[in-house]
Structure 1
Amino acid sequence: MAWPIPMDLDSTVDTHRVGNRLIQAYAGTLHSVRLKRPSSMLMNNNIDHLPESLLVEILCRLPCFKSVSQCKLVSKRWCTLLSDSRFIRHFLCVQRNRNQKPMGTTISMNGEEFLNRVSPSSRPLAQLFKRLVSIHGLKQEPIVVGTYNDLVLCCASMHFQRDYYICNPHTVQWVPLPPPPHVYKYVTVGFTCDLPYYNYREDDQQGAIVQLNVEYKYRVVRLIDPTGGYDDDDDDDDTISCEIKAQIFFSETGEWRQFVLSSPSAIAVGDLCMESSGVASNRMLYWLHGKGEFLIGLDPFMIEKSDNTSSAATAGRTDYKCFFSECGEWDSVPMNCLVTLDGCPRMCEYYSPTRTLSIWEVNEAKEEDQMAMIRGGAGNVCVKPYKSIYLGDEEMVVISRGIDHIRSVVFDPDNEGLLYLLINNTRELIKIDVIRCNIRTGEMSKVATSQTINCLHLYPFVLPWWPTPLRQLPQRGQPSPNLPT
């Protein structure tokens, strides 16, 4: 059952008015709380006289975190209570029991929302961008270069990236990162955490238990074009190498460190850095080569500090074997894009001669898996066919025969059976047609024509039941505290 919030709070609300309205709204629920004299407590008509256990039972039924954050303004007692980890766990248990999935969407590099679900406007990051520009004196709005659940990695520029910010748009908070040791024109960036802020585990005695991961860690990974990216017009100068230089930021130390990633086959590193973007899945980061010819995977939490690892001021190196697989190992056609659905990476490719969209899943490998094993420094992953969709039904509005490439694929986060194809039907690269496809029934329809959509890179973005608190970077070896939410 959904519990309506009985008031519209602001900073001027007093405890007694809010308390009275809360008691009236939730009086019917108090029978579930084991109190000796609940009726006499209600007759007091003053929420300040309620015991803490009853107050928690009432407040944890607020519909969302926004309502909770507004209630923190009521009084110091409420603020302390609603910030306590015990209340957060109780609140999350109530949310889970409602069997409602956290809201999700997809955002572009410009912070524009592809599916308008999180915000009434198409720019849920607008307030955050405005404050970043104002406080840090940026010349223009930052861009999105990575996401993990509700955390967003922003950068002040597209090229020569230097200034990064770990942000939570829901709380409009951010932590600026120190600059990387060297700046390059082209880099491809990945951002991931070792754990979500909260998750659930089942207990035989207590049922679902909420676990808060307040000490979560995150990594920012920059893969570098060794040429510096200055030879834009000469494709022959692209470096072909079995080694990829990487700069990795460690949240627990607040430092950038430099590594060398090795792969079993030589790759065009410049193409990777110019056209690819890191996709986070669990602890892993994946990159699809710009031309869709191979997949790279990396677990940045497997890279431990060692004597050979270089800090920002040192020129050492540490080799690490990353996952690598040529797409030809499981399909003869290069992939068009790499996306995620519920944290699972999926590769998509459109084969124009047969007008077929093929979708492949990337999972951690099990012993019985035989399909396209990808081996690397942290174990194996497996690529499996997920779905093949024929897009050539002449009775429907589908992709014309002149189209041989799909710009991107967006899975509906609230309906796994729906996906959206972004294609160019004109010579203008930013003019996009959007086709909605039901992969269960095969029904298709064009939902947008010649829309201006920046679909160079699209990122999943989640509105969880409780926002991830940002961790301040450590100062001189001190632990990383969390920012208040």
Structure 2
Amino acid sequence: MARPPKTPKINHGGNRTRMDGLDDHMLTQILFRLPNCKTVLACSPVNKRWCSLISDPTFSAQFTNHKKKITTLLKGSGSGSDHEDDEAHWNLIATMQSSQQWVPLITKFMFGFRELSLEFLPCKTCTTTVTFKDLVLCSNYWTYQEHGRLVYYITNPITKQWVALPPCPVYKHRWEQERIKRTALICQQPYIDSSQHYKFRVVEVRNTCIDSSQETLGLVVYCSEIGEWKEINLRVPKEEFRQLETTVVCNGIIYFKSGLSLVGLDPFDVNDTCDTTLEARVMPPLPDFGCLQESSGQLLIINSPKRCSKTFVCYSEDRRVIELEMEMWKLDLNQARLAWEMTFRGVCKGTWKGRQLQRNIALEGDLIEVHPYNDKLIYMFLPTKDWFVLCDTQTGYITPLKSVHRYSLSRIHRLEHQWWPTSVPALVQ
């Protein structure tokens, strides 16, 4: 007589799959699915193996690439994310002017998802000069006042890391000219790696007026590979390029705007062996005067028609409804034949309850920023009772965001939070 089969015993704990039984690939895939880098770093103390995987120089880049891939898939499918941190956030930074001295001394993080500060820097006072992704380039005002030389700091306000560059050998200029966007910071990929050893450039414009004798724009460039500043002359079209108005970094190139003229420079062409005079890349002429911006790797021109040197604004009878004419062009840098294309022309409207609005406002390029991933969202300062507003060219609505005193507001920048914070670069010893 055959014996009945034995009933298997159920082990409620001994045969379970344990985390330490997973191979490295499976474990890293689980870590990639955590909502943000802060959560991942909190897992480092679990054991030596976890700490080794997370500390690997390639982990941060793989974590970032995974987040980008997931975000792209979610946007393509139209579904949302379970974690709000699955998408990179960003801030608007305002450089405020001191009430005691007419110089920009204070940096405030106006909008965004984090409370950030620059108080950890060693200098007494500093001002935000430019930003690149989540890195901030600051300058020390007091060294400029005392020695006529700017000391720059590259810092990440999220991780509170910082590094001081050697003094920049620029000619002493009036501090009021600091409102002109004459400086640029650019890092060469893969800067998202946890390694600090990546190439970067800091470009300081030595003179905003073009040298008529040589038809060049004077630059001072800090080269990270040699740890020194190098003076460079950038040859530009003499007839079109009169005086520098602004600089914008886009897709690894620094663009310089003057009137309707636009030229570019690959800052990594500047090295210890290059000539002292370089030829600028001449871009298609701008379609109209306006503010040069960057969004999603494309160049934009934002303009508002003016009459009598003032932006033309219409109001309702109660003077609480504003209508702002807007025009915007885009230059797709991925096309073989570069040409400016108009993407918006129309009127945006906004309502302020209980507030009287002024007539004839003047838009300023230093006080306009575009959403880094959506070129239809424009943030700007309107001197209508000193309001910062969001202009949505897709819906045509102007939404008031925050009241800011115009007399203290100098300039705004954007700070793009990365899925993994960028390490400040290591300097050559």
Q: Normalising to structure 1: TM-score of the pair?
A: 0.64
User: Is 1:263 paired with 2:236?
Assistant: yes
411 and 38 in structure 1: CA distance in 2 versus 1, 3 angstrom threshold: farther
Distance 1:174 1:326, change over 3 A: same
What pairs up with 1:1-16 in 2 under 5 angstroms?
Answer: none
Question: Which residue of 179, 183, 189 corresponds with 1:189?
Answer: 183
Q: Which deviates more from structure 2 when the two are superposed, residues 73-82 or residues 256-265? A: 73-82
Q: Which residue of structure 1 lines up, in the alignment, with residue 328 of structure 2? A: 359
Q: Counterpart of 2:92?
A: 106
CA distance in 1, matches of 2:362, 2:163: 42
Task: Give 1:302's aligned residue.
Answer: 269
CA contact under 8 A between 2:348 and 2:393: conserved in structure 1?
Answer: no
Distance (Å, rounded) in 1 between the aligned partners of 2:356 and 2:375: 20
- Identify the residue that residue 380 of structure 1 maps to in structure 2: none
Offset of residue 80 of structure 1: 1.9
Q: 1:356 to 1:66 in 2, by over 3 A?
A: same
CA distance in 1, matches of 2:161, 2:382: 35
Selected match of 2:415 from 440, 443, 461: 461
Contact preservation (8 Å) 1:240, 1:268: no
- Is the counterpart of residue 164 in structure 1 residue 120 in structure 2? no
Residue pair 1:162, 1:183 contacting (<8 A) in 2 also: no
CA contact (8 A) 1:350 1:406 kept: no
**Out of 339, 344, 350, which is 1:387 matched to?**
344
CA distance in 1, matches of 2:237, 2:356: 40
Cα distance in 2 between the residues matched to 1:367 and 1:183: 40
Q: Residue type matched to 2:207 in 1?
A: D
> Residue 188 of structure 2 aligns to which amino acid in structure 1?
D
Find the aligned partners of 1:168 and 1:264 in 2 and give their Cα distance: 37
Number of residue pairs matched by the alignment: 367
Q: Which residue in 1 is equivalent to 2:256?
A: 287
1:59 correspondence with 2:31: yes
1:116 and 2:147 correspond: no
Structure 2 counterpart SS, 1:403: coil
- Shift of the alpha carbon at 1:220? 0.6
Q: Distance in 2 between matches of 1:339 and 1:415?
A: 12
Deviations 1:231-251 (A, max 9, x none): xxxxxxx97662221111111
Alignment gaps of 5+ in structure 2: 1-10, 72-85, 96-105, 313-323
Query: Aligned pair in 2 of structure 1 residues 414, 105: CA closer, same or farther (>3 Å)?
Result: farther
Residue aligning to 2:168:
180
The SS at the match of 1:264 is coil
| Displacement of 1:221 | 0.7
Question: Which amino acid letter does the alignment assign opposite residue 425 of structure 1?
Answer: T
State whether residues 296 and 375 of structure 2, in contact with CA within 8 Å, keep that contact through their aligned partners in structure 1.
no
- Partner secondary structure for residue 113 of structure 1: strand
Correspondent of 1:220 among 202, 205, 214? 202
Q: Distance in 2 between matches of 1:60 and 1:90?
A: 8
- CA spacing shift, 1:449–1:88, aligned 2, 3 Å: closer
Indicate if the aligned counterparts of 2:349 and 2:397 stay in contact, CA closer than 8 A.
Answer: no
2:238 counterpart SS class: strand
Unmatched tracts of structure 1, length 5 or more: 1-36, 199-210, 228-237, 310-317, 372-382, 427-431, 476-485
Q: Which moved more, 1:82-91 or 1:162-171?
A: 82-91
Q: Is the 8 A contact 1:248 1:259 kept in 2?
A: yes
The percentage of counterpart residues that share the same residue type is 25
Greater RCO structure (CA 8 Å; 6+ sep): 2
TM-score by length of 2: 0.72
> Deviation at 1:71?
2.5
Please give the secondary structure, in 2, of the residue aligned with 1:359: strand
C-alpha separation in 2, matches of 1:367 and 1:53: 40
Distance 1:365 1:87, change over 3 A: closer
Match of 1:440 in 2: 394
Task: Give SS of 1:417's match.
Answer: strand
- Report deviation, 1:163: 1.0
User: Partner residue of 2:280?
Assistant: 322
Shift in CA distance, 399/111, structure 1 to aligned 2, threshold 3 Å: same
1:251 aligns with 2:232: no
Task: Say if 2:60 is the partner of 1:88.
Answer: yes
One-letter amino acid matched to 1:419: I
Contact 1:155–1:161 at 8 Å: present in 2 too? no
Which structure 2 residues correspond to residues 128-147 of structure 1 after superposition, within 5 A? 129-133=118-122, 138-140=123-125, 142-147=126-131
Deviation of 1:98 after TM superposition, in Å, equals: 3.4
Alignment-mate amino acid for residue 386 of structure 1: T
Distance 2:282 2:330 in 1: 15
- C-alpha separation in 2, matches of 1:39 and 1:86: 35
